[in-house]
Amino acid sequence: MALSCQYYCCLFVSCLTILCLLLVQPHVAFSALLFSLRNHHNHNHHTRPMIQANQSNCALFAGTWVRDDTYPIYQSSNCPIIDPEFNCQMYGRPDSDYLKYRWQPLNCELPRFNGYEFLLKMRGKTVMFVGDSLGRNQWESLICMVSAAAPTTPTQIFRGDPLSTFKFLDYSLSISFYRAPYLVDIEIEHGKRVLKLEKISGNGNLWRGVDVLSFNTGHWWSHTGSLQGWDYMESGGKYYQDMDRLVALDEALKTWANWVDTNIDSTRTQIFFQSISPTHYDTSEWNLGAATTAAAAAATTTTAKNCYGETEPISGTSYGGTYPEQMRVVDSVLRDMQNPAYLLDITMLSELRKDGHPSIYSGDLNPQQRANPARSADCSHWCLPGLPDTWNQLLYTALFF
* Domain ranges (residues) in the chain: 1-44, 83-400
Note the pLDDT of residue 7: 42
Tell me how far CA of residue 290 lies from CA of 285, 299, 318, 320, 368, in angstroms: 11, 11, 16, 12, 32
Question: How would residue 240 be classed by pLDDT, with cut points 50, 70 and 90?
Answer: very high
Residue type, 275: S
- Would residue 359 be called left, alpha or beta, if left means φ above 0 and alpha means ψ between -120 and 50 degrees? left
The SS3 assignment for 134 reads helix
R_g (Cα) of the chain, nearest Å? 22
Q: Which residues are catalytic?
A: 133, 378, 381
- Burial bucket for residue 95 (CB in 10 Å: 0-12, 13-18, 19+): middle
DSSP bridge partners of 215: 130, 273
Closest CA to 223 of 305, 285, 132, 286: 132
pLDDT of residue 105 exceeding 60, the answer is yes
HSE at residue 173, side-chain half, CA atoms within 13 A, is 23
Q: Average the pLDDT over 213-242 and give the result.
A: 93
Question: How would residue 13 be classed by pLDDT, with cut points 50, 70 and 90?
Answer: very low
CB atoms within 10 A of CB 123: 12
pLDDT of residue 368 exceeding 60, the answer is yes
Closest CA to 274 of 136, 73, 123: 136
Closest CA to 241 of 199, 182, 200, 194: 194
Q: Average the pLDDT over 356-381 and give the result.
A: 96
Question: How would residue 382 be classed by pLDDT, with cut points 50, 70 and 90?
Answer: very high
CB atoms within 10 A of CB 238: 9
Note the pLDDT of residue 40: 33
Local structure of residue 265 (DSSP, 8 states):
-
DSSP bridge partners of 66: 102
Note the pLDDT of residue 223: 86
CA dihedral angle for residue 293, residue 298, residue 303, residue 308, rounded to 10 degrees = 80
Closest CA to 106 of 62, 140, 139, 170: 62
> Quick check: 142 and 392 in contact, CB under 8 A?
yes
Mean model confidence pLDDT for the chain: 85
Give tens-digit pLDDT for 21-39.
444 444 333 333 333 333 3
Q: Which of 113-127, 176-190, 306-320 has the lowest mean pLDDT?
A: 306-320
> Quick check: 326 and 246 in contact, CB under 8 A?
yes
pTM of the model: 0.83
> Quick check: 129 and 138 in contact, CB under 8 A?
yes
For the four alpha carbons of 191, 196, 200 and 203, in that order, the dihedral sign comes to positive
Higher pLDDT, 231 or 55: 231
pLDDT of residue 1 exceeding 50, the answer is no
Note the pLDDT of residue 319: 85
